[in-house]
């Protein structure tokens, strides 16, 4: 296992990222997990897109499209942000590939010591529990089970709503045909407005458009959906990518 920035535990075997302070945990998809593990184990190296596609998709890399690759990296960056890491932990090097950010600290660790402490706490808790009435233990266990079930339901619902944290984007016009939203990853939205101005076809009538990108990076992704994908898990979306110099 790996400890990233002394904050997030990365378990490549179980494909999970977990913030050990907040308890927030995200499970990565297999290609994103394999790509991230390769970057973590090759710090300071710039890994080309082709090499990462071989790592993430294996024999299927020949039929994997660049859009599929960019979507996997976008999902990975979203997961990193959700557990409290910078989105540019996975850094894009123009026309060369990706690398782990120089500011990222990675430590290899074994959870054995922590498990020992946990087991000790469990033993103390069990000893204390034996002194409590049986009905109190049953009620407590039932409440904990209900809380756990509710947590799982909420987590799965959140996982199915990938744009739930997006917020409305105002263009200053009252004649927008579509509903516009953007990921609040930075305070400046000028690059989104420029993109929409130069690509008016994105904002078709009764469509929902979700934008994500950075003003200083080279790409912006636009997800165009037939329904509000923040609430409708069955919404059909298409993905469009734009180079910043093409806006």
21: its two tokens: 């302070």
Specify whether 155 is located in the same domain as 172: no
- Residue 138 lies in domain: 115-160
Q: Which of 108, 128, 144 is the last residue of a domain?
A: 108
Specify whether 126 is located in the same domain as 85: no
When pLDDT is cut at 50, 70 and 90, the band that residue 113 belongs to is: very low
When pLDDT is cut at 50, 70 and 90, the band that residue 135 belongs to is: low
135: its two tokens: 């009905």
Specify whether 6 is located in the same domain as 100: yes
Specify whether 129 is located in the same domain as 186: no
Specify whether 138 is located in the same domain as 199: no
Q: What is the pLDDT of residue 155?
A: 52
pTM of the model: 0.47
Interatomic CA distance for residues 205 and 31, integer angstroms: 35
Specify whether 9 is located in the same domain as 53: yes
**What is the arithmetic mean of pLDDT over 162-177?**
77
Specify whether 63 is located in the same domain as 120: no
Specify whether 134 is located in the same domain as 218: no
Work out the angle at residue 49's Cα, subtended by the Cα atoms of residues 163 and 217, and round it to the nearest 5 degrees: 55
Q: What is the pLDDT of residue 123?
A: 46
Q: What is the pLDDT of residue 114?
A: 47
When pLDDT is cut at 50, 70 and 90, the band that residue 245 belongs to is: low
Q: What is the pLDDT of residue 76?
A: 95
Specify whether 101 is located in the same domain as 135: no
Please tell me the total count of domains within the chain. Answer: 3
When pLDDT is cut at 50, 70 and 90, the band that residue 218 belongs to is: low
The torsion region of residue 176 among left (phi > 0), alpha (psi -120 to 50) and beta comes to: beta
Specify whether 100 is located in the same domain as 15: yes
């Amino acid at each position: 296992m790996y400890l990233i920035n002394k904050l997030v535990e990365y378990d490549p075997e179980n494909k999970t990222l977990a913030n050990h302070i907040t308890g927030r945990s995200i499970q990565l998809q297999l290609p994103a997990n394999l790509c991230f593990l390769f970057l973590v184990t090759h710090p300071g190296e710039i890994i080309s897109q082709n090499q990462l596609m071989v790592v993430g998709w294996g024999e299927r890399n020949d039929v994997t499209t660049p859009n599929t690759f960019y979507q996997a990296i976008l999902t990975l960056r979203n997961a990193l942000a959700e557990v409290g890491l910078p989105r540019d932990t996975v850094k894009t090097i123009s026309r060369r590939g990706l690398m782990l950010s120089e500011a990222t600290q990675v430590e290899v660790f074994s959870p054995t010591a922590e498990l020992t402490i946990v087991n000790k706490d469990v033993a103390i808790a069990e000893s204390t529990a034996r002194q409590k009435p049986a009905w109190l233990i049953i009620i407590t266990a039932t409440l904990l089970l209900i809380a756990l079930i509710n947590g799982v339901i909420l987590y799965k619902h959140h996982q199915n709503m990938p744009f739930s944290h997006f917020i409305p984007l105002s263009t200053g016009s009252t004649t927008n045909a579509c509903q516009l939203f953007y990921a609040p990853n930075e305070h400046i939205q000028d690059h989104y407005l420029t993109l929409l101005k130069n690509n008016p076809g994105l904002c078709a009538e009764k469509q929902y458009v979700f934008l994500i990108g950075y003003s200083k990076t080279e790409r912006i992704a636009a997800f165009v959906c037939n329904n509000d994908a923040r609430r409708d898990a069955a919404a059909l979306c298409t993905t469009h990518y734009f180079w910043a110099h093409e806006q």
